[in-house]
Structure 1
Amino acid sequence: MPTPMNLINLLGCADSLPQAWQSSIMGRVGGANIKVLRMDDMAYPAETHDYAEALLVLEGQMRLSVDDALVEVGAGQLYLVPAGLPHAVAPGSQGTLVIID
């Protein structure tokens, strides 16, 4: 039988984080981290990873800059970033983001 420890309130966890853009690992599934963070309208610099990551917007909107194009990711939408692809968050992104990497 599942325990309450298996139930995670992602929006509540994001609200309780002391600072925007600092993720907190909520758990691991199949070797991937599940992280949550708050976006606060500020930009986040470009980064590249040697692994793929999934960016799931729970509420609000993320403005993602990929290959010199702006991709708007809305609530309930998931953007899959392939390994090795530089990506940055443009100003105006706000809400709650889940990162699976």
Structure 2
Amino acid sequence: MSRQAVNLADRLSTFSELWTPKIVSAFNGHDVMVVKVNGEFVWHSHPDTDDLFFVLSGKLTIQMRDGNVTLGPGELYVVPKGVEHCPKAEEETHLIIIEPAGTPNTGDPETAAVKTTI
């Protein structure tokens, strides 16, 4: 067991790719990831799991078919399992995402980003 704190700013400074979640920790079978986003992602859903978004910096709009949720720094939202959504950011935004380990970020293993640990 590691006894070191995870410095999120340090971890975010190690990469520049957008929409590629990086695993920084894990608990109870879940990956804790940081990700940089800008622009619009793809519409997708996760049939078996909720999707937690926590904004560290910037602004994120989670588009859903029945209305949008906009988040700023320090705010989080959980998209319920099975709900189609499309995250969008007008500027570079930094997030924490928590999902069960192995969950494809696009909802489809064929098109999902490969998640690496940093």
**Could you tell me how far 1:30 is from its partner in structure 2?**
1.3
Please state which structure has a larger fraction of its residues in helix: 1
Answer yes or no: is the 8 Å Cα contact 2:49–2:82 preserved in 1: yes
1: distance between equivalents of 2:40 and 2:66? 15
2: distance between equivalents of 1:90 and 1:56? 14
- Cα RMSD (Å): 1.6
Deviations 1:36-73 (A, max 9, x none): 11122x11111111211210001111011012422111
2: distance between equivalents of 1:39 and 1:91? 7
Pairing 1:44–2:47 present: no
Please state which structure has a larger fraction of its residues in strand: 1
**Could you tell me how far 1:90 is from its partner in structure 2?**
2.5
2:17 to 13, 16, 19: 19
* 1:3 counterpart residue number: 3
* 2:72 counterpart residue number: 74
Cα separation, partners in 2 of 1:95 and 1:37, compared to 1, 3 Å: same
What's the TM-score once normalised by structure 2's chain length?
0.74
Gapped regions of structure 1 (runs ≥ 5): none
What's the TM-score once normalised by structure 1's chain length?
0.85
* 1:87 counterpart residue number: 85
2: distance between equivalents of 1:67 and 1:33? 27
Gapped regions of structure 2 (runs ≥ 5): 100-118
2: distance between equivalents of 1:91 and 1:18? 16
Identity of aligned residues (%): 25
